[in-house]
Amino acid sequence: MKNLERLNQYRIMWVFVFFDLPTDTKKERRAYTRFRKMLINDGFSMLQFSIYIRHCNSRENADVHIKRVKVSLPEHGEVILFTLTDKQFGMLEIFKSAAEVKKPETPQQLELF
């Protein structure tokens, strides 16, 4: 029963990071690049330009990654953190021009403990 609880679509989370960062100066471009690389190194994938997503097995795991983003926030610009349950993410509709695009796959993660 506990195993089923861990795989519940309402317990699995997706973390979205939306950001709009200035890139006018060399310092701002460096901050933008550093922030973007931090997201990628922490397991986020680009959904669209300046929108990155990460699959998390639980709310607690999502909180860990949210804290990492908060610690790495650039000095200037705007960053929005947003979470969805796996169930809500499953209702997402993505379009490119007029054609519907397949949603990103839910990663299959093995637990060793």
**CATH code where residue 67 lies:** 3.30.70.240
**Domain presence at residue 90:** yes
**Domain presence at residue 71:** yes
Note the pTM of the prediction, 2 decimals. Answer: 0.81
Domain total for the chain?
1
**Domain presence at residue 39:** yes
Say which residue, 90 or 105, is predicted with more confidence.
Answer: 90
**Domain presence at residue 112:** no
pLDDT in tens, 51-101: 999 999 999 999 999 999 999 999 999 999 999 999 999 898 888 888 888
pLDDT at residue 113 above 60?
no
**Domain presence at residue 107:** no
**Domain presence at residue 106:** no
54 and 42 Cβ atoms separated by less than 8 Å? yes
Confidence of residue 31 (pLDDT cuts 50, 70, 90): very high
Domain extent at residue 59: 2-101
**Domain presence at residue 34:** yes
Q: Which residues pair with 19 in a beta bridge?
A: 79
pLDDT at residue 2 above 50?
yes
Rounded Cα distance between 20 and 80, Å, is: 9
